[in-house]
A and B are shown apart, each in its own frame.
Chain A
């Protein structure tokens, strides 16, 4: 509901929007306190996915949620300054490229597509490295695509 308010606040004239921003002190302080921890939790889910529940999809979504929280509380203009649309597009494409690139590298090393065994001298280590890189690519693309979707949908 506060998103509605933030977006609605930008529709109104400047004085009222300013007033709304100023009186959102509680929201702004809480968002500032929580945002680093949400991003940290996203990274934890990303890199702890090997050992517990988690992985690229969940981590990307949680990371995007942290960024979107910033946009909800501080307004879309600040969000666009924080994540320029060019950066979001580059990250979303490079995540998929990283995934496919891992597959192509394993092909160049003489195996089939996405055969992680050949990525390192030791097959188990190669599998570990391959899964790590692939999950990283998934996380990058998901986070960037979700953030971009929110920016485009919530335009003023």
Chain B
């Protein structure tokens, strides 16, 4: 019991830390694309770690299967959503802020 709770606790804690780091990045990063990078990558990893941490707690039952299916769903949809957002931004003529441009101007 203690090993199971140790594993799931570790996974949940890692997931939480990753999500907090991503949220900080979401607020601190300068433009849309870097923010999207923080949001989508971290969202995928953090949520997957959280669900993976819940799987040992559920034991071996139907809930385990459902959590696993949610894991696969997040793995598929979250990067796709990030991709769609980035493409939509490019389609809407939003240019990424590049460091080289500033140097060229200066």
Measuring CB to CB, which residues of chain A are less than 8 angstroms from any residue of chain B? 1-2, 4-5, 8, 20, 23-24, 26-27, 30, 33-34
Contact = CB atoms under 8 A, between A and B. Distances in A.
B77 A24 contact: no
19 contacts: A1-B84, A1-B85, A1-B88, A2-B84, A2-B85, A2-B88, A4-B88, A5-B88, A5-B92, A20-B91, A24-B87, A26-B80, A27-B83, A27-B87, A30-B76, A30-B77, A30-B80, A33-B76, A34-B77
A33 B76 CA distance: 9
Interface in B47-94: 73, 76-77, 80, 83-85, 87-88, 91-92
A127 B23 CA distance: 51
Given A5-B91, A8-B91, 14 more contacts: A1-B88, A2-B84, A2-B87, A5-B92, A20-B91, A24-B87, A26-B80, A26-B84, A27-B80, A27-B83, A30-B77, A30-B80, A34-B76, A34-B77
Best-surrounded residue of A1, A8, A34 (most CB of chain B within 10 A): A1
